Structure 1
Amino acid sequence: MARKNGKNHKKEESRKDSNSEPWLDIHPEVKQVIFAVGAFVLAALFAISSIGKGGALGGYLYRAFGYLLGSGYFFAPVTLVLLGFSFLFSGRNRVFAVTVLGGFLFFLASLLSLDLFFGAGTGGAVGRAMSSPMLALFDFWGAFVITLGIWIVALLLLFNIPFWKRFSSENEEGTTGEARGAAEESRIATVIDNLSATIQGAVLKVKTATEIPLAGSGADGSAPAAKEEEANGNLIALRKIARRNPFYKKPPLELLQEDTGKPSSGDIRANANIIKRTLENFGVEVEMGEISVGPTVTQYTLKPAEGVKLSRITALRSDLSLALAAHPIRIEAPIPGKSLAGIEVPNKSIALVGLRALLGNAGFAASPHPLLFAVGRDVAGSPVYADLSKMPHLLISGATGSGKSVTIHSIIISLLYRNSSDMLRFILIDPKRVELPVYNDIPHLLTPVITDPKKTIQALRWATKEMDRRYDLLSKKSSRDIVGYNSSLGKAEDEEALPYIVILIDELADLMAIYPREMEGAIVRLAQMARAVGIHLIVSTQRPSVEVITGLIKANITSRIALQVASQIDSRTILDTAGAETLLGNGDLLFMSGDTTKPKRIQGGFISEHEVKRVVDFLREEFAVPEYDEAIFETKAEDGGNGHDDDLGDDDPLIAEAEKIIRAAGKASASYLQRRLRVGYARAARLLDILESRGIIGPADGAKPREVFAKSADSLHELDSDEDEI
């Protein structure tokens, strides 16, 4: 059904979400057990009917099936029992239709075998109907070979087990189900002999990977995390947070929703003629090129005639929008890597880009990059992926309702599908308290989802200390980065691999309003140095202003995702270029990485709240409850000019001395307090904020000095009381 506007599209998406939920959100393994129980019950009914204990209906079924199947009647309960065990012990979530097909072929092969070896009619009317023409065409041995082939195919479909690989080597016993089907050509690493708590498990080393489009550049190394070295001294080490599970079972793709709907762009030839005719009316000669229909927009490419300035085409955006009766349209001139310009026209109805199809892509599954995640589909409908390890940090911004939260969920779920808790840890920060708490209690978390701003500062301080600790470990091993370090580790018990750490901040604006200097200082320091040691930031905000996305933050986070924003100014704040104001919302985004000069338009992958809950519930049920590291919230920063504040409260022990210095000098500035008190800039600025809140000094007024107010005796007495309490 065509959707005429964004509201109708949003309603239809919600209807499709509710209608497509399988079995009222029953867990896939519960469905397997239900299928198995049903198969066992039917097998029992067939068995008791054959001995006259099935009642009147059982007797009728026995006589009817006895005529149709002959002696093959007794293969019916056998086949049903095999089906039941296939559902129970197949080792992965079964596809119902494929399993039933395997059972059906097994039963047919049984009937054929009876007729071939024991004479016509032994397999009943069905067996005779199949064996007679087969014997006439192929004779006995030809029919035997065909029957044998059906047997083999039936068993493979029933149990989905490549027996020649399963039993060829004992070293493959530790290989995960995810690794066995990841690449066409792969070799399995041997399982470490001592299966103790420090075993990382078998690791798939991909020899060849299907080439997939990357929005960002790929990782240099594919060496997996092996073991992590314990910290010593006073440094805070990354502890073993959850029980190690060397056989990580990734969530099944069946938990996610398939793509729904097809894009409808209308009469694309007519639109191409309208574009050409409109430009010619304004004296712009062009030659129309390829037309690419994407999930959200259709891109019409054109080549300007010689001597035509591209600025003349971009200036006619409003006229083209009027002629096409489509708003808004976006003009990409030129298209990177081509001598063409592109006009992107919204589709009359858009397609929902489900995350399941993106994660199920063969190239994505075979890629060795652990931090590869799905971004969405481009204007041509091709899947687009990005590697967080090469970004190495990401900024996401967009107006309310543009799809920012869905984009964050799709990134998190992509990483959860690729990494066990031994290879990846998350620190999730959500001051809004509504989006990320759903991930509490999954084994990948270092801490519970953080909602307190003060704990956010402590977590970022811990991350900087962890970064310094990791650099010390790398220097001892003479390694350049975390990949080289993990590859250099041996089998010693005191050596443990360093997992990647992803710090995700859902709403930066709320934190910047409370602790602007502390947040900026911590983000900038991590963004500058944390890449090599496997610590990565994902920062998002719905308020793209220069007070939130400061110049220092932008300079150090070069990979950015911009969703729909209200104005061109907001777009330039995020991307340093216009374009995000012409997006359509609902996950329509512009992606720019550090190695690209122009943003790329992508329809982001969609994942619903119910899908997120299903994946999270799967992880909670499959793995142990994490043991959080409370030492993260005990981290204290040291005094100095590092931009970190020691005390975030209003009871700073230096407040009285700062007030005396300011009253004596008759002026108030952060740099002056830094020199006199020998503290960092952030703490000096915090002291000024406290003094301002107490009415001792005036507010900041640009470059002008703050006004110092005279204090009454009561105020001074209150200050002395505060000092006594300290």
Structure 2
Amino acid sequence: MTKRAPTRTTRRTSTRGRSGAPASRRTAKTTPARNKRRTGRAGIHISAAQVAYGAGVMLLGVALITLLSVLDEGRGAFGEWWVTLLTRALGWGRFAVPLVLVIPSLWLLTRLSGEPLALPWKRLAGGLLMLVTLLGLAHHLSIPSSTDLAEASRGGLLGAAISSALQVAFGWSGALVVFVLILTLALTVTLDLSLEEIVRDSVSLGKRIWGWLSAVAGTGQTSPSPSETPRTAPVIRVRNRTQAKASAQVVTPVQTAVSSPVGSASAQAEPSGRESMTKGEPASVPSPAASRPTPQEIADVPDVSTYEARRWALPPVEDILALDDESPMSLRDIREKTRIIEETLLSLGVPVAVVEVNPGPVVTQFGLEPGYVERQDRKGKVKRMKVQVAKIASLSNDIALALAASPIRIEAPVPGKGIVGIEVPNKETAMVGLRSVMESDEFRRQGQRSLMAAFGRDVSGLPVVDDLASLPHLLIAGATGSGKSVCINAIIACLLCRNTPEDLRLLMVDPKRVELSNYNGIPHLITPVVVEAGRVVGVLKWLAAEMDRRYQLFSDAGARNLESYNKKMIARGSPHLPNIVMFIDELADLMMVAPDEVERHICRIAQLSRATGIHLVIATQRPSVDVVTGLIKANFPARLSFLVSSQVDSRVILDTPGADKLLGSGDALYMAPDSPKLARIQGCYVSDGELERIISFWKSQNTQPETHREAEPVDPGKTVQKPLWPSMPNMNIEETLDTDDNSDPLLSEATDLVIRHGKASVSFLQRSLRIGYSRAARMIDTLEEQGIIGPPTGTSKARQVRATGAESGNGDAVEDDDYE
């Protein structure tokens, strides 16, 4: 039986490719190219970039030849023909041909590098439209002197064609109106400005030119720049800080006189006793009694002839303080950020429109007007619904990501406006100088208030000023380097530029010894800057006693506050009482030394001192609950918070978060007592040189040292010197507590408490009398020495009360968990 040979299965390869063409044909097509690559003979290949580069070189060459032909007389035959052709075609437009050719040539030359030159095509198109319109207008306004319009026209054949077409359609006058409209449109597109801005800038330029021509002609009548008017959409408020120097003189008078001799007729004619003095006249030096009256003198109202007149010169603001710069935010950046905000929110389903932009020194506020969204209900009916404000506020992170700016703050809504404010940090910040705020209209309107303080500018660039008499106290918080100390110096400088020592006296506490110590020597200080924390309690006690003394004076004179009392005293020819402002640079250090006494005296002064003209400005860099207690916060409705380290600190100082997301370097949130909303401001900056000039100015007038009579002996336990105002010796709390225990004014009260309750311990006296541990322990030792209580038992029981008599009560030992 024969075996069958095994069959082989072969795979047939299709002779057609994917395209349907025969394989032999595809092979035939690709064979020459492969052979060329193998043999190394490649064909000539020119890329598109190389073609563009060559075209750019040719255009650049034509532009250079055109420029030389137009400007040079010896241009040759070709140049003569080329210039004649351009003149007949474009007229005066031949001078713009080189520029028109250079721009596309540069763009073509940069294509070979892969990064072509970014050109503002919209502006270039506007410029080309403006050029063509000018050619037509030149022909329209020209009066040809020959029959050849191409030679006689200033706009060439192109201008003649445009002008003729418009004259046929609208007539000569109508064509002129059309030319003006097209030219205005081209100008707005080219300059990327609105018509209002173009008109305003043109008027400003015209006035400047007219002022310059008038000055050259000898008239010297220069016109000031017009005030800025707000734009409609978006409204951009631009500050004009280059005020005239005459307006600066309105802020503070150059010279003031406080009192005049009572025996003179001028003093009777003018009870206020205010006089002016020329700048070059030297100030007279008064007697110590006139410059610093004692409480006895004020209370007893002695013969007014004993008071000698003292005239003080106020510092010239325009010579001491420097102007700040304008906001660096440009209109181009504003429009770009406006577009990004609108497009970002629209892509997230929240249509809005930016209707107002307020560029500030550090942040720019964009005012958003919520739009409408269309939604379909269950019945299929489409309803328009307004975008919710909360939805915009929830997209802060998306907006910050799109703007590449962090952090941003959303104020929804802006108080008094129907918009939502988005505060975006500027790329470059501007300095807010103290002089620009003091020369503002808002500050000048309150010029009669002597305690006006300049805080800075808000996000709209408007000055933020307030009167310390209406606050009446200010609490400032901020981390190290956030601008807290600069703010305090700015407030002090503002007060020193507006008040003489007869109207304002200062108390300064600087435990750090470097912030306020340079003010030593100015005549406004009641006592040198206090740098020892142990002396502060004595200073606060003296200030509380001065407050009580003033209330007694008001009661005797029938006055309700300091202003009415001073009016009565000036009418009688008696010295008036000055305002007193106390600055404490670091509250945390004082709360560590004597927390109970510091808190008690600060709260008492803050509660009662408003009518007496005594005000507190307290700052701390650690606004924790053990430093800024609830009682202190309740008596300080005006608060200013710079950058803090955590949201908890922000809630402590402002009762709301936000201060932990500030930018630092003067960026702050201000809580005014009469406003429910926080205001974001950039604090005023005053340099060391400006402060030194102010201090030197006042020190130069304090040439003669003041001598005071010796103080009468005082009770060391009270640490307040009553007889002499304003000198304050014996204010050191350590020296006060180191005296004899029997002289403690609270010892009798402690004895009554111990006998009445039948128990005695250190903590019991601390709680009952609200005193410190050292003082309570010394009282316990004194009571033991006097035999009122027994020795310590060494157990958890309190000491045995040994007092007898009607007041002894229960003399048995009492269980006391507070045994010390």
SS at match of 1:253: helix
Structure 2 distance, partners of 1:200, 1:302, is 53
Residue 476 of structure 1 and its aligned partner are, at CA, apart by 1.8
Tell whether 2:449 aligns with 1:381. no
Give the residue type in structure 2 aligned to 1:248.
A
Which of 697, 710, 719 in structure 1 is aligned with 2:794?
A: 710
> Which residue number corresponds to residue 622 of structure 1?
701
SS at match of 2:356: strand
Structure 2 distance, partners of 1:181, 1:380, is 26
Give the residue type in structure 2 aligned to 1:297.
V
Tell whether 2:366 aligns with 1:300. yes
> Which residue number corresponds to residue 264 of structure 1?
329
Could you state the TM-score of these two structures normalised by the residue count of structure 1?
0.60
1:168-317 aligned at under 5 Å gives the runs 181-182=249-250, 192=260, 194=262, 201-202=273-274, 231-232=295-296, 245-260=310-325, 262-264=327-329, 267-305=333-371, 308-317=387-396
> Which residue number corresponds to residue 25 of structure 1?
none
Asked if the contact 2:477/2:619 (under 8 Å) is kept, the reply is: yes
SS at match of 2:466: strand
CA deviations over 1:247-295 (Å, ceiling 9, x no partner): 4332443222221364236622222232233333443333322011000
Residue 227 of structure 1 and its aligned partner are, at CA, apart by 11
SS at match of 1:603: strand
Give the residue type in structure 1 aligned to 2:488.
I
CA deviations over 1:102-123 (Å, ceiling 9, x no partner): xxxxxxxxxxxxxxxxxxxxxx
Tell whether 2:422 aligns with 1:369. no
SS at match of 1:348: coil
Which of 579, 584, 589 in structure 1 is aligned with 2:663?
A: 584
SS at match of 2:250: coil
Asked if the contact 1:443/1:626 (under 8 Å) is kept, the reply is: no
Residues 602/666 of structure 1: CA separation in 2 closer, same or farther (3 Å cut): same
1:23-102 aligned at under 5 Å gives the runs none
> Which residue number corresponds to residue 439 of structure 2?
360
Asked if the contact 1:462/1:632 (under 8 Å) is kept, the reply is: no
Residues 202/260 of structure 1: CA separation in 2 closer, same or farther (3 Å cut): same
Structure 2 distance, partners of 1:503, 1:192, is 28
Which of 498, 512, 536 in structure 1 is aligned with 2:577?
A: 498
> Which residue number corresponds to residue 340 of structure 1?
419
Give the residue type in structure 2 aligned to 1:546.
V
> Which residue number corresponds to residue 474 of structure 2?
394
Residues 633/416 of structure 1: CA separation in 2 closer, same or farther (3 Å cut): farther
Residues 542/635 of structure 1: CA separation in 2 closer, same or farther (3 Å cut): farther
Residues 335/194 of structure 1: CA separation in 2 closer, same or farther (3 Å cut): same
> Which residue number corresponds to residue 486 of structure 2?
406
Tell whether 2:410 aligns with 1:327. no
Give the residue type in structure 2 aligned to 1:256.
L
Give the residue type in structure 2 aligned to 1:452.
E
Give the residue type in structure 2 aligned to 1:710.
G
> Which residue number corresponds to residue 82 of structure 1?
none
SS at match of 1:533: coil
Structure 2 distance, partners of 1:668, 1:487, is 53
Asked if the contact 2:272/2:571 (under 8 Å) is kept, the reply is: no
Structure 2 distance, partners of 1:687, 1:635, is 16
Structure 1 distance, partners of 2:694, 2:493, is 8
> Which residue number corresponds to residue 509 of structure 2?
429
Give the residue type in structure 2 aligned to 1:528.
Q
Structure 1 distance, partners of 2:539, 2:663, is 36
Asked if the contact 1:443/1:624 (under 8 Å) is kept, the reply is: no
SS at match of 1:257: coil
Structure 2 distance, partners of 1:632, 1:402, is 45
Residues 201/455 of structure 1: CA separation in 2 closer, same or farther (3 Å cut): farther
Residue 233 of structure 1 and its aligned partner are, at CA, apart by 10
Residues 690/272 of structure 1: CA separation in 2 closer, same or farther (3 Å cut): farther
Specify every segment of 5 or more residues in structure 2 that has no aligned partner in the other structure, as ranges: 1-215, 222-244, 277-289, 372-384, 720-731, 781-791, 796-820
Asked if the contact 1:396/1:561 (under 8 Å) is kept, the reply is: yes
CA deviations over 1:382-404 (Å, ceiling 9, x no partner): 22211000000000110100001
Give the residue type in structure 1 aligned to 2:250.
A
CA deviations over 1:537-570 (Å, ceiling 9, x no partner): 0000011111111100000011011001122111
Which of 557, 581, 600 in structure 2 is aligned with 1:477?
A: 557
Tell whether 2:600 aligns with 1:521. yes
> Which residue number corresponds to residue 447 of structure 1?
527
CA deviations over 1:621-667 (Å, ceiling 9, x no partner): 1333563879699685659xxxx9997646772799989979x9888
Give the residue type in structure 2 aligned to 1:279.
L
Residue 316 of structure 1 and its aligned partner are, at CA, apart by 2.2
Residues 228/449 of structure 1: CA separation in 2 closer, same or farther (3 Å cut): closer
Count of residue pairs brought into register by the alignment: 496
Residues 585/284 of structure 1: CA separation in 2 closer, same or farther (3 Å cut): same
Greater C-alpha radius of gyration: 2
Asked if the contact 1:296/1:350 (under 8 Å) is kept, the reply is: yes
SS at match of 2:480: coil
Structure 1 distance, partners of 2:441, 2:361, is 20
SS at match of 1:320: helix
Q: Which has the higher contact order (CA 8 A, sep 6+)?
A: 1
Residue 231 of structure 1 and its aligned partner are, at CA, apart by 2.9
1:532-681 aligned at under 5 Å gives the runs 532-624=611-703, 627=706, 638=718, 649=737, 653=741, 668=761, 670-671=763-764, 680-681=769-770
Residues 248/593 of structure 1: CA separation in 2 closer, same or farther (3 Å cut): same
SS at match of 2:357: strand
CA deviations over 1:361-413 (Å, ceiling 9, x no partner): 36535610000011111111122211000000000110100001100000000
Residues 553/435 of structure 1: CA separation in 2 closer, same or farther (3 Å cut): same
Structure 2 distance, partners of 1:456, 1:605, is 28
Percent sequence identity over aligned pairs: 41
Structure 2 distance, partners of 1:588, 1:545, is 20
Residues 673/358 of structure 1: CA separation in 2 closer, same or farther (3 Å cut): closer
Asked if the contact 1:590/1:602 (under 8 Å) is kept, the reply is: yes
Tell whether 2:591 aligns with 1:512. yes
Structure 1 distance, partners of 2:626, 2:459, is 33
Asked if the contact 1:470/1:533 (under 8 Å) is kept, the reply is: yes
Residues 184/243 of structure 1: CA separation in 2 closer, same or farther (3 Å cut): closer
Residue 234 of structure 1 and its aligned partner are, at CA, apart by 13
Asked if the contact 1:334/1:340 (under 8 Å) is kept, the reply is: yes
Residues 601/611 of structure 1: CA separation in 2 closer, same or farther (3 Å cut): same
Residue 426 of structure 1 and its aligned partner are, at CA, apart by 0.2
Asked if the contact 2:487/2:683 (under 8 Å) is kept, the reply is: yes
Asked if the contact 1:462/1:635 (under 8 Å) is kept, the reply is: no
SS at match of 1:462: helix
Residues 687/324 of structure 1: CA separation in 2 closer, same or farther (3 Å cut): same
Asked if the contact 1:372/1:387 (under 8 Å) is kept, the reply is: yes
SS at match of 2:417: coil
Give the residue type in structure 1 aligned to 2:367.
T
Residues 481/467 of structure 1: CA separation in 2 closer, same or farther (3 Å cut): same
Tell whether 2:568 aligns with 1:488. yes
Structure 1 distance, partners of 2:563, 2:387, is 50
Residue 490 of structure 1 and its aligned partner are, at CA, apart by 4.3
Give the residue type in structure 1 aligned to 2:624.
S
Structure 2 distance, partners of 1:526, 1:499, is 17
